Amino acid sequence: MKKKETKKPQKQTVSAYIEGSGKVVETDIVTTLEENYMPYAMSVIVSRALPEIDGFKPSHRKLLYTMYQMGLLNGARTKSANIVGQTMHLNPHGDAAIYETMVRLARSNEALLHPYVDSKGNFGKAYSRDMAYAASRYTEAKLEPISAELFAEIDKDAVDMVPNYDNSTTEPTLFPVRFPSVLVNSNFGLAVSMASNICSFNLKEVCETTIALIKNPQHDALSTLKGPDFPGGGLIVYDEDEMRRIYNTGIGAVKVRAVYNFDKENRCIEVTQIPPTTTVEAIIDKVVELVKEGKIREISDARDEIDLNGLRLTFDLKKGCEPEAVMQKLFRLTPLQENFNCNFNVLIAGTPKVMGVYEIISEWTEFRRQCVKRRIYFDVAKKKEKLHLLLGLKKILLDIDYAIKLIRETEEEAEVVPNLMIGFGIDELQAEYVAEIKLRHINREYILKRTEETESLQNEIAEMEDILNSPKKIDKVIIEELEDIIKKYSQPRRTMFLYDVSEEEEIVEEKPEGYPLNVFFTREGYFKQITPKSLRMSSEQKLKENDEVVISAEVSSNSDLLFFTNKFQCYKSRCADFPETKASVMGDYIPAKLGMDEGETPIFMAVTENYSETLVIFFKNGKCAKIPLSSYETKTKRKKLSNAFSGLSEVAAMFVINGDADFILQSTAGKTILFNTALVLAKTTRDTQGVQVMRLTKAELSGAYRADSIELENAENYRIKTIPQAGILGGFEQMKLE
């Protein structure tokens, strides 16, 4: 037997141009992606889109460091265009991108809880899509006081400095920020195949939590860090389990609601704070859309009334509408309530890592410890250098006259330092220091004051070295700095909490006053609703070929629709979810409209306004099930109910009745019965098999009809008073459909 040969999969290739050769060659696409796309993807992830442990992306860091070098921490404001131009020494990505970065960091934009840029002029608003910021030549800026905490040790070797893109200067890899700014100000970044979305927290709470975790790693952060604090305020629908999930994993969703008040005099709702994930224009657009679709009928006008006092959206209410019910509806249907999806993805040593609040604070604390150590090392080195010079000066004190004589008798200037080194036993640095002393300072008082510093320097050096050798003392320094920041910059929470808000309360909705509608459901699964006025103008129904209307009724616009399918499922909808149309329109195809499964089709439609009716199902095995429609009522907005009815036997017919009613059943054996549904006990179990009504032998139920919809001669002859019964032969030819 010959061994069956297997074909190897062909490699995909792309054309590649060899620069300078004028040739195009075929190359493996995988190799091309690795050599060209992967470096780009890594550059976006590591050098552009994701924040690092200091809370900044490279674009933020380059801008703020440039402003610091320009003296804008304590100086007067300068034109934004000037700042943008200077920043291009570090960030060559163009003035538009740099200025947009500065706009988000500015106080006037209101995007950050603690802005880093003190702005003057129109910087737009984070909560508005259309309020564009002015050009950089019209605005001015400087650094906010809190920015001093970013640069406090940057000149003391607390962080690494690297060359800029053209090696003309250097820039910091990180800021030695004295508080966990990565949690204090929100940050969003979209990289290749990953993203980051960090919400902001209250500065005081973050610092207190950090202090508590440094002292006790087992501290419950939720006891001090209550939850996110957004720049625009809002109300958080508090979920402790979800909050703990965010704190532990860095992944989760925070539900944020708008803040509003009701003006009784003008009968209008005034929204003054909105969720951070939306804009005023998006809210207005959605409300207008819902009003046009008839899904919101309580609002007569929606206005954007933003002015110098801040954000305000106004919704005028119609008479008789309850503001609380209207707001519950708006929360459910519009961006006035939205989720902030947390994804705490931070670069740690150049590697993206999704971390919870605990881990972020732990990483920041370790980073801060290194900054403090490097700062102290720097200070110790400077003090040791000064001490070394003063010790040389102290030796000169022993014989100032000899030092002067030594210098005067030296013939060449170049020999002064060597002679001092030999004469007093000091090194070159000390001799240079002594030689540079001014003539006016060659007096005992000056030299004594300088040498007195040696003792204090020695004490300071010993104290600093003691701190470096003690992790607890390093932590104490960090804690003292955090406490100082709380005193300087803390502010009250802007975002408050809503507790004990149940899911049922959130979807409570006051239905507007209903109006008449005519609904039509066809055998092929098409549905349409028409107003009586439109129906009077044209009553000829447009249908698909060989299709027919099987259910038609006049109902209220507030009615719910229940579509039962051949897969024993029920799909719930509402009249308000369908457009009002005309008889000349075919209507909506229900399987597509409601997203039914493949091969699933509707076989019956029930219409109800209060679920007080009863569903009657006749099966081909002769059984009848009576189920209250209230069994299909749900407190949540579930759109699909499985096991909506029994699947043990094929359905012969379905009806919705009020109270009990007479039905006529016929079998394939030619027998007929007339019975009242009072003989069947109602079951609340949706998939009940029902009870046997018609006894069948080698036959099945061929049809079921409401007694008042057909004319049957001598109908009472077929009535039964107990079940089950086999029925009486006949009845087919005597029946006439009305």
Catalytic residues, by residue number, are 138
Q: Tell me phi and psi for residue 440, to 5 degrees.
A: -65, -20
Q: Give the whole-angstrom CA distance, residue 94 versus residue 261.
A: 44
Side-chain-side CA neighbours of residue 648 (13 Å): 13
Q: Give the whole-angstrom CA distance, residue 259 versus residue 268.
A: 14
Identity of the amino acid at 543: L
Positive or negative, the CA dihedral 118, 119, 120, 126 is negative
Output the furthest CA–CA distance in the chain (Å, rounded): 150
Q: Give the whole-angstrom CA distance, residue 675 versus residue 673.
A: 6
What angle is formed at CA 51 by the lines to CA 49 and CA 54, rounded to 5 degrees?
Answer: 155
Q: Give the whole-angstrom CA distance, residue 693 versus residue 21.
A: 90
Integer angstrom CA distances of residue 618 from 552, 623, 647, 703: 20, 6, 12, 9
- At residue 239, the 3 state secondary structure works out as coil
- With a CB cutoff of 8 Å and minimum separation 6, the contacts of 581 are 528, 529, 530, 587
Provide the pairing of β-strand 516-522 with 526-530. Answer: antiparallel
Residue 719 neighbours by CB distance under 10 Å? 15
Q: Give the whole-angstrom CA distance, residue 116 versus residue 64.
A: 8
Burial of 650 (0-12, 13-18, 19+ CB in 10 A): exposed
Integer angstrom CA distances of residue 203 from 114, 227, 478, 489: 8, 12, 15, 8
Instruction: From 170, 205, 157, select the one nearest 184 (Cα to Cα).
Output: 205
- With a CB cutoff of 8 Å and minimum separation 6, the contacts of 569 are 597, 600, 640, 641, 642, 643, 644
Burial of 125 (0-12, 13-18, 19+ CB in 10 A): buried
- At residue 536, the 3 state secondary structure works out as helix
Q: Which residues pair with 24 in a beta bridge?
A: 17
Among all chains, which residue has been given the structure tokens 């439109």? 534
Q: Contact at 8 Å (CB) between 553 and 609?
A: no
Q: Give the whole-angstrom CA distance, residue 684 versus residue 632.
A: 9
Provide the pairing of β-strand 691-692 with 623-628. Answer: antiparallel
Q: Give the whole-angstrom CA distance, residue 95 versus residue 85.
A: 7
Q: Tell me phi and psi for residue 563, to 5 degrees.
A: -105, 115
* DSSP secondary structure of 49-91: IS-BTTS--HHHHHHHHHHHHTTTTTS--EEHHHHHHHHTTT-
Cis peptide before 724 (omega within 30 of 0): yes
Q: Give the whole-angstrom CA distance, residue 521 versus residue 607.
A: 11
Q: Contact at 8 Å (CB) between 550 and 593?
A: no
Provide the pairing of β-strand 671-676 with 614-619. Answer: unpaired
Q: Give the whole-angstrom CA distance, residue 61 versus residue 164.
A: 12
